[in-house]
């Protein structure tokens, strides 16, 4: 198996006629949510493990789950995740156009990481797609010049006849990139053969010719029972089934968007030996415009936590803690809380001593007033709103979005602090003036994506001191209420465990020693688990062949991707 990997890698490292631009491979799907993003990530990892410089590319992504690059630009989370799988830093060239839904009919258009405008679908297609085409082609060209291989992910289905004339994400893009295409279908949905044959039938002859084979994804059961259908499909289309990928349960990697949220996706950890029976019940409020839902992923992986997504007041129950996550439209989502009665549930819960954390839009909601004088956050008629009134704060939405990776230190939860609440409350305002945090600060990092500026009232205690000496967020003296603009705050293992242990202590439960979950290490190992799984069930020799490499040499070196070293001998 290892020798085969080396042979395939050497084909990529030495070509008969080295081109100016790297070759490409494109993963398209018969529909949305068939697994294109994760299969692309798997291929990124497979090729990167052989020592190749691999990069992902998706010309246009629609998602509220975004990623901030090192230079403070915003791209789709899936391309950031795929870059991580490659072991490289993400850039805006990997996702030059990002659409962030602002309402049912309009989206914020983000070009190379910076907001351009809010457009409805018709205006975008009529007025902007022609401008987007050279932006997309130039970004792809830069990636191909800088890497050995570019793996392209399509969007939705290539067979949407009403969208094909100005397509910049599927078959026209495949033509620009001269990319062989593998078509992915999700058998878990049912009708897998009809979806594949129907897609091919709608494609133009030259587009159909570009499809080099099929991947059937999320299979459950005995593949022998599927074989007659596979034989029929190959005979019917004249194209091979390149792989049948079994469903891979409990994968600890982020989904493309909140439409595919599954609170059980890390459930394997709950059944492992050593998992505690005393699990904290954490309710995550499922906002209509929920953004960066991956903020809750580390909680899903904790063995002593059960996460519930709550959309209605009757689902609220009696949680041990509540997380109010980010929102693309904070004022509109505040209106949702009031319509459903969740606002009263949350305030009553906090007033009764409950534990509540707010992130970005959730942090803004904790305050007294939200103002949108320029109409950048809200819909018409909602330029001002009352917050939940749980902290003294006012948020004003500006016209410039802040996107930034940050580091700092946060006030943790420890026994000394709990015993000294009264003194800390008295010192809070003085600490702010002296730019100090309380004892027990924990190093943290995260990223900011917001247009709101929040001003705390007098006496409010900061949560995080940033590396430039400024402050972010708020924290009550007893630590039961906190808010921050930092997405990824719960990805900081020590801080997350400190919070969970404090909640456990308040219930009289035993706490965990040390930090039992290192989420970054788990994520790195999951990239390899996904890659191993896909590589086992995909005809990789065929994949290498359609990319078009030849000539073999011997290589021997060690590479490191993320936190795992791989030997190639």
Q: Which residues carry out catalysis?
A: 360, 487
> Are 399 and 374 contacting, i.e. CB atoms less than 8 angstroms apart?
yes
Helix (H, G, I), strand (E, B) or coil at 453: strand
| Other CB atoms within 10 Å distance of the CB of residue 386 | 12
Q: Please list the alpha-helical segments (H only) found in 215-354.
A: 223-237, 268-271, 297-301, 330-340, 342-351
What is the sign of the dihedral through the CA atoms of 199, 200, 203 and 207? positive
Question: What is the DSSP code (8-state) at residue 358?
Answer: E
Q: In angstroms, rounded to a whole number, what is the distance separating the alpha carbons of residues 476 and 472?
A: 13
Bridge partners, 164 (sequence order) = none
Distances from the Cα of 190 to the Cα of 26, 183, 187, 218, 223, angstroms: 24, 16, 5, 11, 15
Place of tokens 């965990």: 512
Q: Spell out the residues 6+ positions from residue 75 whose beta carbon is closer than 8 angstroms to its own.
A: 61, 66, 67, 69, 90, 91, 92, 94, 95, 98, 110, 113
Place of tokens 């900011």: 448
What is the sign of the dihedral through the CA atoms of 113, 119, 125 and 128? negative
Q: Spell out the residues 6+ positions from residue 59 whose beta carbon is closer than 8 angstroms to its own.
A: 95, 96, 97, 136, 139, 140, 152, 155, 168, 169, 173
Place of tokens 């070759």: 23
Q: Residues 236, 239, 242, 247: what is their CA dihedral angle, to the nearest 10 degrees?
A: -40
Distances from the Cα of 558 to the Cα of 114, 168, 413, 479, 555, angstroms: 38, 38, 41, 46, 10
Structure tokens at 459: 């006496």
Q: Please, what is the angle between helix 493-506 and helix 519-537, to 10°?
A: 110
């Amino acid at each position: 198996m290892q020798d085969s990997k080396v042979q395939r890698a050497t084909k990529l490292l030495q070509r008969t006629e080295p081109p100016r631009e790297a070759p490409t491979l494109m993963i398209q799907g018969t529909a949305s949510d068939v697994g294109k993003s994760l299969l692309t990530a798997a291929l990124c990892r497979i090729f990167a493990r052989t020592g190749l410089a691999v990069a992902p590319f998706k010309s246009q992504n629609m998602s509220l789950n975004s990623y901030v690059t090192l230079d403070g630009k915003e791209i789709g989370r899936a391309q950031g995740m795929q870059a991580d799988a490659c072991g490289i830093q993400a850039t805006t060239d990997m996702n030059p156009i990002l659409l962030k839904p602002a309402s049912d009919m309009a989206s914020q258009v983000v070009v190379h990481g910076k907001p351009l405008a809010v457009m409805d679908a018709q205006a975008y297609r009529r007025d902007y797609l022609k401008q987007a085409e050279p932006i997309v082609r130039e970004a792809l060209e830069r990636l191909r010049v800088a890497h050995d291989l570019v793996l392209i992910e399509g969007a939705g289905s290539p067979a949407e006849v009403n969208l094909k004339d100005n397509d910049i994400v599927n078959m026209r893009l495949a033509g620009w990139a001269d990319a062989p295409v593998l078509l992915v279908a999700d058998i878990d949905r049912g009708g897998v053969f009809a979806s594949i044959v129907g897609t091919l039938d709608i494609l133009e002859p030259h587009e159909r010719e570009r499809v080099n084979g099929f991947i059937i994804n999320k299979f459950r059961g005995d593949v022998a029972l599927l074989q007659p259908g596979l034989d029929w499909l190959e005979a019917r289309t004249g194209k091979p089934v390149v792989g049948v990928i079994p469903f891979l349960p409990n994968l600890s990697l982020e989904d493309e968007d909140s439409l595919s949220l599954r609170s059980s996706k890390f459930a394997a950890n709950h059944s492992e030996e050593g998992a505690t029976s005393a699990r904290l019940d954490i309710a995550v409020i499922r906002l209509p415009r929920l953004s960066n839902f991956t903020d809750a992923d580390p909680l899903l992986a904790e063995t002593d936590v059960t996460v519930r997504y709550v959309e209605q007041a009757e689902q609220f129950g009696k949680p041990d803690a509540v997380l109010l996550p980010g929102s693309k439209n904070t004022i509109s989502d505040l209106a949702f809380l009031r319509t459903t009665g969740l606002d009263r549930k949350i305030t009553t819960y906090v007033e009764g001593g409950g534990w509540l954390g707010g992130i970005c839009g959730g942090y803004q909601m904790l305050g007294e007033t939200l103002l949108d004088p320029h109409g950048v956050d809200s819909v018409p008629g909602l330029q001002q709103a009352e917050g939940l009134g749980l902290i003294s704060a006012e948020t004003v939405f500006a016209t410039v979005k802040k996107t930034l990776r940050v580091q700092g230190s946060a006030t943790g939860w420890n026994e000394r602090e709990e015993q000294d609440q009264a003194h800390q409350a008295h010192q809070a305002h003085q600490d702010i003036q002296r730019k100090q945090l309380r004892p027990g600060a924990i190093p943290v990092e995260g990223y900011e994506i917001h247009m709101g500026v929040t001003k705390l009232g007098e006496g409010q205690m900061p949560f995080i001191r940033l590396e430039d000496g400024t402050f972010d967020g708020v924290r009550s003296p007893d630590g039961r209420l906190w808010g921050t603009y930092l997405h990824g705050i719960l990805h900081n293992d020590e801080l997350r465990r400190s919070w969970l242990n404090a909640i456990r202590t308040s219930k009289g439960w035993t706490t965990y020693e040390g930090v039992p979950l290192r989420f970054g290490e788990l994520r790195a190992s999951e990239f390899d688990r996904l890659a191993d799984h896909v590589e086992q069930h995909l005809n990789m020799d065929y994949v290498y062949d359609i990319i078009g490499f030849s000539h073999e040499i011997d290589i021997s070196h060690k590479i490191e991707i993320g936190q795992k070293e791989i030997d190639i001998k």
